Structure 1
Amino acid sequence: MMFVTVFIILIMAIAGYFSRLLTISGAAAAFVVGSLIALGLGVKGLIILGLFFCSSSLWSKIKSAKKERAEELLLKGSQRDWQQVIANGGLAALSSAMYYLTDDFFWIIGFCICLAASNSDTWASEIGSMSKGEPVDIKSFKRVARGTSGAVSLLGTFAAAAGSFLIAFGAFTFFRLQLDECLFIFILGFSGNIIDTLLGAFVQAGYQCPHCGLKTEKIIHCGQNTRLIKGYSILNNDVVNFFSVFFILLISRFVWEVY
């Protein structure tokens, strides 16, 4: 049965590549992540992963003029490479592996929280960039361009809550969790997006193109190297995404143990 499951994961990873949702490295990373999740949590875990991947990919593919302008600021497009896959699904896969090794029920909760946080952040970014008004930078409280890391909008905030709720609802449906456990997943997942926003505003690398003056996450724009104007160069969007999930997983473990 496990062999069949792994074979299906391989087919899905290949399909992700040919549908231009994943790069080659992204497909390889997705296969590893999917296999670890199948090992610890089986088909139920893969369904929750599928909720995240399919819904976030759907929003990534929905285009609008506002969203296309916002993507000009981003380091990468909608096709995920291995770094994006690990940033969003790596800790969920680790949680699944920990459940396999320890049989500790928390790791089911932790797995769902990791994906809820990633889904919350992805929905906030993808849907929020289609907002009618420009978002507000939480550091300067000024209006900034759509797609700016560390900025929030009303639409993006609602989208973040909806993204976390989807994973919490999936956990309730397929893992048969209690309502308070699902509420825990929803709140902590949404909180992961808040941490991501804070890191994006205060420490994530931001650059400016010397040619056109555009503020962007890209290290090359208009054929020239951009200039670092905020944050730390090592902390790109993928690293920030990873650490936001990592921090919320640590917080979740602490709260779970205390209460």
Structure 2
Amino acid sequence: MEAIFFAGIALLCMVSFIFKLLTLRGSLAAFLTGALTFYSFQWQGLVILAIFFLTSSLLTKWKREVKEDFNAEPLEDKKGRTAGQVFANGGTSMLAATGAILIPDPVWLIMFAGAFATATADTWASEIGVLSKTKPFHLKEWRKVEAGLSGAVTRLGTIAAVIGAAAIGASYYFLYDTSTFMASGIIIFAGFFGNIADTLFGAWFEQKFYCQICKTETESKWHCKTKTTRIFGLPWATNNLVNFSSTIIGALIAGGLYIWTVK
């Protein structure tokens, strides 16, 4: 039976590569993430992973022609999610899965779900929020900025983040044998505030660039088919690093609250 699941994970990764949801290296990274998830958290963990991956991929492609000017890495999106993007969103869940193998404890499952709740909330907020009819408000610069910059929020994006985190929290409740909403509530809370951490990290540390052609700020090193100029942020503070850091925060919040309130 386990061999069937591993074969299914491999097949799904291959299909994702063929349909350009993932690059080749991205599909290999996704297989590793899926295999570890199944080994530690069984098929239910795969469903949580799939909810994040499928919804994120569909939202990325949804109204892409409208988003192209805002996406941090538009060329990468056309080829699919890279290994870096897979590990940025799924790396923390892999650490939780590894922890569950080395030191079996229910807290690892909560941390796993908290990490994916954060990744889902962040992705939904970004992909839906960028379509807001009102300009986002930047938390550090304390002004309205152009859509697509990290560190900025919209009402639409915030609502999307809550719903994204709730999707993972609700999935946990229905997939695992539980008689209380406490753990699901913890996951939703952790996912939303992990997303807030992502926004703050993006506002204070992530790189920003300026396009000399269209005179706008962007997160991309290339814009309007021209190399942009870095105007802010730490050289090593990439979007992938910010995403990974926020999922760590979400997992730690989930694990800490679970130990404090449930165990």
Superposition deviation, residue 213 in structure 1: 2.8
Provide the aligned length of Structure 1 versus Structure 2. Answer: 259
Residue in 2 that maps onto 1:158:
159
Counting aligned pairs with the same residue, the percent is 35
- Structure 2 residue runs of 5 or longer lacking an equivalent are none
1:126 matched to 2:127? The reply is yes
Cross-structure match for 1:31: 31
After TM superposition, the structure 1 stretch with the greater mean CA deviation from structure 2, 71-80 or 248-257, is: 71-80
Matched with 2:48 is 48
Q: Supply the RMSD in Å over aligned alpha carbons.
A: 1.8
2: CA distance, partners of 1:133 / 1:65: 19
Task: For residue 77 of structure 1, give the secondary structure of its aligned residue in structure 2.
Answer: helix
| Match of residue 216 from structure 2 | 214
TM-score w.r.t. the length of structure 2 is 0.92
8 Å contact from structure 2 (residues 110, 258) kept in 1: no
Paired residue type of 1:202: W
1:54/1:6 Cα in 2 relative to 1: closer, same or farther (>3 Å)?
A: same
- How do residues 2-21 of structure 1 correspond to structure 2 at under 5 angstroms? 2-21=2-21
Q: CA deviation at 1:247?
A: 2.1
| d(CA) in 2 for partners of 1:73, 1:6 | 31
Aligned to 1:104: 105
Bigger drift between 35-44 and 134-143 goes to 134-143
Distance (Å, rounded) in 1 between the aligned partners of 2:258 and 2:172? 17
Out of 192, 198, 201, the residue aligned to residue 200 of structure 2 is 198
Equivalent residues of 1:17, 1:24 under 8 A apart: yes
**What is the rounded CA distance, in whole Å, between the counterparts of 1:65 and 1:135 in structure 2?**
20
Out of 222, 235, 238, the position equivalent to 2:237 is 235
Q: Which deviates more, 53-62 or 197-206?
A: 53-62
Distance in 1 separating the partners of 2:190 and 2:135? 27
Question: CA separation in 1, counterparts of 2:163 and 2:75?
Answer: 25
Secondary structure at the residue paired with 2:231? Answer: strand
Contact 2:70 2:148 in 1 (8 A): yes
How far does residue 66 in structure 1 lie from its aligned partner after superposition? Answer: 4.0
Q: What does residue range 72-83 of structure 1 map to in structure 2 within 5 Å?
A: 76-77=76-77, 79-83=80-84
Aligned letter for 1:243?
S
Normalised TM-score (structure 1): 0.94
SS at match of 1:140: coil
Match of 1:256 in 2: 258
Q: Which amino acid in structure 1 is aligned with residue 167 of structure 2?
A: L
Question: Partners in 2 of 1:75 and 1:133 — Cα distance?
Answer: 26
Match of 1:246 in 2: 248
Q: Which amino acid aligns with 1:193?
A: N
Deviation, structure 1 residue 214: 2.8
Tell me the distance in 2 between the aligned counterparts of 1:37 and 1:30. 10
- Residue 237 and residue 229 in structure 1: after superposition, are their counterparts in 2 closer, same or farther (change >3 A)? same
Distance verdict in 2 for CA 1:70–1:223, change over 3 Å? closer
Q: In the alignment, what sits opposite 2:190?
A: 188
